[in-house]
Structure 1
Amino acid sequence: MNQLVNDDLYETRNNLLKEIALLSAAQINNKPDPAKWSIAQVCHHLVLVEESSIKAVAWGLKETESTQRERQKIELILDRSKKIIAPKIVEPDEKPFKVQQIVDLLNSSRDKLMTFLSTVEDESILAKKSMKHPAFGELPLDQWIELLYLHEQRHIEQIKEMKLLLDTKH
């Protein structure tokens, strides 16, 4: 993957890990509202999104015909005033998580992503093929990968807000 995207994936994941590293099990599993996710669930959602994105990109690469689509404005995902409903496949578990368990899941899904990307011999093909994305419709495969760190940045902001709520409770 190009170095810029690699750096963004790495930097964003490090920022996420810093945000959750010092939380207790009670804090990471705290739900400010029964209808909302806990910080652990937000992180589990990110793991599920990363793993399903690997599958989608792999699937897209297997398509024989090039289906180049126009590039989408994927940075719109950073606009948190626009609620996006997560597809069932990337909804997190209800069960509580341990902090280390979440860190391990995040590290594992990122390792799977980087291993998968290292198998793509000609990265230029990623811009030439596309797959249907639940939020953006037909999306070039390279944008699926870029979307991972943008989506993660969106949720880091959410986690920061959730942590502020934790602080006001005590």
Structure 2
Amino acid sequence: MSNLVNDNLYEMRNKLVKEITLLSYTQFNGRPGMNMWSIAQVCHHLVLVEQATIKAITWGLKKGENTQKVRKNVHLILDRSKKFKAPEIVEPDVEPFEVQSIIDLLNDSRIKLLTFLSTIGDKSLLAEKSFKHPALGELPLDQWIEQIYLHEQRHIEQIKEIKLLLDARH
């Protein structure tokens, strides 16, 4: 995995944790609208996406043939004018969360991701094999890794918006 990707994973996760660390239980679990997630749910979704990414890369690596597809512009994920419906596998719980328990889940899922990636012997396979991404279609496995921090960046912007919406209600 390139240093740039690694740096971006760390940088984005640090930004995310900084956004949520000082939130009260009410701010963390408050929903600004009926059809909107709370900040806690957004964060739980990010944990689930990271776990699902490990599964997707595992399945993609198990595919016998190399399925190199056209590289995608994964930065499209940052365009928040495009709404995506989260697949059921990455839909967050509706139960409230404690901030620290979500931070622990985020840390745990990141350690699992980095540990998993470190076990891949031939890293070149990540660029040669692909797996279908729910929003981006057939995606090279190395771009699955890249989309983690871009997806987090997208949701950090959403978290900032939710904070503003919740503040406006008080």
Task: State TM-score, norm by structure 2.
Answer: 0.98
- Between the two proteins, the alignment pairs up a number of residues equal to 170
Equivalent position SS for 1:139: strand
Residues in 1 aligned to 2:159 and 2:85: alpha-carbon distance in whole angstroms: 17
CA distance in 2 between partners of 1:168 and 1:133 (Å): 36
Please tell me whether residue 82 in structure 1 is matched to residue 82 in structure 2.
yes
Corresponding residue for residue 33 of structure 1: 33
Deviating runs (4+, > 2 A) in structure 1?
166-170
Within-5 A mapping of 1:14-25: 14-25=14-25
The share of aligned pairs that are identical, in percent, is 69
Q: 2:141 maps to which residue?
A: 141
Amino acid at match of 2:28: I
Q: Residue 72 of structure 1 aligns with which residue?
A: 72
1:120 aligned partner: 120
| TM-score (ref. length: structure 1) | 0.98
Partner-residue secondary structure (3-state), 2:61: helix
Q: C-alpha displacement at 1:164, in angstroms?
A: 1.4
Q: Could you tell me which residue of structure 1 aligns to residue 42 of structure 2?
A: 42
SS at match of 1:107: helix
CA distance, structure 2, for counterparts of residue 139 and residue 34 of structure 1:
33
**1:89-168, aligned counterparts within 5 Å?**
89-168=89-168
State yes or no: 1:61 paired with 2:61: yes
Residue aligned with 1:131, SS: strand
Q: Kindly provide the CA deviation profile for residues 86-142 of structure 1, in whole angstroms up to 9, marking residues without a partner as x.
A: 001100000000000110110011011000011011211100000011011110000
Give the unaligned 5+ runs of structure 1. none
- Quote the Cα distance in structure 2 between the aligned partners of 1:50 and 1:109: 6
Give me the whole-angstrom Cα distance separating, in 2, the residues matched to 1:44 and 1:34: 18
3-state SS of the aligned residue for 2:167?
A: helix
Structure 2 CA distance, aligned partners of 1:34 and 1:97? 18
Post-superposition offset of 1:169: 2.7
Q: Which amino acid aligns with 1:73?
A: N
Offset at residue 62 of structure 1 (A): 1.2
How much is the aligned-residue C-alpha RMSD, in angstroms? 0.7
Matches of 2:76 and 2:50, distance apart in 1: 18
Counterparts of 2:56 and 2:91, CA distance in 1? 17
Indicate the SS of the match to 2:85: coil
- Aligned mates of 1:7, 1:134 — CA distance in 2: 25
